């Protein structure tokens, strides 16, 4: 069991935004054409309707959503999200965008509503904080040891072998420079977090071993492959 750790209190995100309960619509975002609601009628087509902003959502997020939602559909699609994030911090690959969308919807629909947009916003704020704390020399890149510490601060303890593999995958130079930039750091975090959660779902007792059927294994893993 060396190299394996799910800190009982520290697993996952302390401030995990997806842990917020699904709530009734906030009156503060009313521009959606389809009257987003908390679905009191158990509508079987509810996935076709946008979600809603949690009450008390930061007005900055609402404003960002309205700017990002260029076609005023009430949803943000992958291209809209990529454009919105590029204008906020920097560029993200379409793969990272799809991974983010998958993480917050658990589907391949590639559209997110206000609720998931809020989660993406908070997650990226959180990852930016983690990255900037890890990037001590402010080079815009972190080294493998800083990546290990950043993952550990999120509750993910990875072995040296797994760390090497992550660096070789998420370093833009294929592991030669051993330096991870912010966009790849986000992709790496989303991947480690997502895979760890798939593992944890099959190891609810934190035994360190998880049993999958072939079907469950493929369904757990394939969404993290290239989108």
Residues of this chain that interact with its own copies (CB under 8 A) are 1, 3-4, 6, 95, 108, 110, 158-159, 161-162, 165-166, 168-169, 174-175, 191, 195-196, 199, 203, 208-215, 217-219, 221-227
Using CB atoms within 10 Å of the CB of residue 109, give its burial: 0 to 12 exposed, 13 to 18 middle, 19+ buried. Answer: middle
- Smallest distance from its own copies to CB 226, Å: 5
Rounded (10°) CA dihedral 8, 11, 14, 17: -130
- Measured from the CB atom, the residue of 42 and 211 that comes closer to its own copies is 211
Closest contact distance (angstroms) between CB of 197 and its own copies is: 12
| Residue where the block lists tokens 């690959």 | 93
Smallest gap, in angstroms, from Cβ of residue 45 to its own copies? 19
Q: Which is nearer to its own copies, 15 or 213 (CB)?
A: 213
- Secondary structure of residue 207 in the 3-state scheme: coil
Of 64 and 167, which CB lies nearer to its own copies in the complex structure? 167
Cβ atoms of 52 and 25 within 8 Å: the answer is: yes
Rg (CA), the chain: 18
Separation between Cα atoms, residue 114 and residue 117, nearest integer Å: 5
| DSSP helix/strand/coil, 187 | helix
Minimum CB distance to its own copies smaller for 24 or for 221? 221
- For its own copies, the closer CB: 134 or 158: 158
For residues 67 and 81, what is the distance between their CA atoms, to the nearest angstrom?
Answer: 10
CA distance 68 to 119: 15
CB of 11 to its own copies, least distance (A): 12
Rounded least distance, CB 185 to its own copies, Å: 14
């Amino acid at each position: 069991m060396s190299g394996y750790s799910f800190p009982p209190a520290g697993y996952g995100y302390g401030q995990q935004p997806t842990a917020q309960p699904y709530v009734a619509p906030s009156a503060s975002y009313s521009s959606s054409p389809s009257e987003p609601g908390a679905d009191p009628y158990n509508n079987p087509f509810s996935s076709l309707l946008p979600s809603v902003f949690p009450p008390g959502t930061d007005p900055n997020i609402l404003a960002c959503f309205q700017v990002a939602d260029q076609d005023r559909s009430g949803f943000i699609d992958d291209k809209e999200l990529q454009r919105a994030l590029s204008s906020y911090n920097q560029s993200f690959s379409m793969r990272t965008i799809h991974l983010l969308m998958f993480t917050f919807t658990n589907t391949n629909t590639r559209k997110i509503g206000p609720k998931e947009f809020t989660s993406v916003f908070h997650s990226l704020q959180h990852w930016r904080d983690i990255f900037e704390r890890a990037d001590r020399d402010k080079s815009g890149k972190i080294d493998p040891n800083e990546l290990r510490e950043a993952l550990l601060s999120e509750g993910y303890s990875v072995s040296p072998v797994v760390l090497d593999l992550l660096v070789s995958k998420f370093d833009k130079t294929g592991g030669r420079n051993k330096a991870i930039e912010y966009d790849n750091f986000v992709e790496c975090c989303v991947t480690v977090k997502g895979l760890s959660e798939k593992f944890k779902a099959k190891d609810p007792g934190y035994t360190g071993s998880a049993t999958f059927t072939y079907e469950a294994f493929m369904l757990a893993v394939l969404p993290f492959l290239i989108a």
